Structure 1
Amino acid sequence: MPTIIPTFRYDDARAAITLLCEAFGFEEHAVHEDGGVIAHAELKLGDAYIMLGQTRDENRERVPAGPSSVYVVVEDVDALHARAVAAGAEIMEGLTERDYGSREFAARDPAGNVWWFGTYAPQD
């Protein structure tokens, strides 16, 4: 069965993990360091995962840090928005009602990735 796991690179992976956990409710699942640098990390939100790692000088051209955009479906977007604001996340767009039935907001992480959190979930 195919699984899609968004993957990100950060100049400071530890700071990114801290923000993603404190502001958006992710939990550390696995963190692997190599010489004091986070080479690979897995964060979990509900039953979904993301993977991330630290940008390294030797592969900065090939695998640069951000920016990307990802949409995460959540049940209580208002509570998550309040949590993100309290944690000091950079809110790009506040809570907004969309005409297609979503309530959502957007925030930017330290690498410039834009995280959309909302109630819209595609239906089969």
Structure 2
Amino acid sequence: MNKIYDTYRPKGFGTVSSYLMVENPEELINFLKKAFYAEELNRSINPKNGVIANIILKIGNSCFMISQARGEFLNMRTSFYLYVDDVDKLHQRAIENGAKEEFAPRDMEYQDRQSGIIDPSGNYWWISKRLVNKDYED
């Protein structure tokens, strides 16, 4: 690893961590808690206007951040690859909590069982389980 990356990172954060800027952070936070068992670790509110400046959430062993979108950061979308043990169960839970189905769970040629959903903020989540205990190969 390049020494530039040899630095302190808060527990649960990798070298690269997601930061979502969304129009309705409370809606997304509630969805993530209900659908994916997200845990809220920290919340910062802007004292000038009362909007969410930053929220840290944890899903499984990964942390990421969410804040109120404004200005040039409105309408940004992203996608996530979420590794789980039961794709079908978590897919159904996400749909029951407001996600839109992109595609139903199915076994893929690259040896993942996978589904796709779109959260209330328009982000894509690929819910996946490796069907073999090995890395992806060419």
Tell whether the structures are fold-level matches, with TM greater than 0.5: yes
1:45 to 39, 54, 59: 59
Q: Would you say the 8 A contact 2:79–2:123 is kept in 1?
A: yes
Displacement of 1:117 in angstroms is: 1.1
Displacement of 1:65 in angstroms is: 3.3
Displacement of 1:109 in angstroms is: 1.8
1:98 to 105, 108, 111: 108
Structure 2 partner of 1:11? 23
Displacement of 1:107 in angstroms is: 1.1
Bigger relative contact order, structure 1 or 2, given CA contacts below 8 A and separation 6+?
1
Structure 1 partner of 2:123? 113
Q: Would you say the 8 A contact 1:10–1:110 is kept in 2?
A: no
What is the CA RMSD across the aligned residues, in angstroms?
Answer: 2.0
| Partner Cα separation in structure 1 for residue 108 and residue 52 of structure 2 | 37
Which portions of structure 1, spanning 4 or more consecutive aligned residues, are displaced by more than 2 angstroms?
63-66, 120-124
SS where residue 98 of structure 2 aligns?
coil
| Partner Cα separation in structure 1 for residue 43 and residue 99 of structure 2 | 22
2:34 to 6, 13, 22: 22
TM (norm. structure 1) is 0.85
| Partner Cα separation in structure 2 for residue 3 and residue 122 of structure 1 | 23
Q: Would you say the 8 A contact 2:34–2:97 is kept in 1?
A: yes
Q: Gaps (5+ residues) in structure 2?
A: 1-5, 7-13
Q: Would you say the 8 A contact 2:52–2:67 is kept in 1?
A: yes
Displacement of 1:122 in angstroms is: 7.1
TM (norm. structure 2) is 0.77
SS where residue 49 of structure 1 aligns?
strand
Q: Which protein has the larger Cα radius of gyration, Structure 1 or Structure 2?
A: 2
Percent of counterpart pairs with the same letter?
Answer: 32
Matched, 1:89 2:99: yes
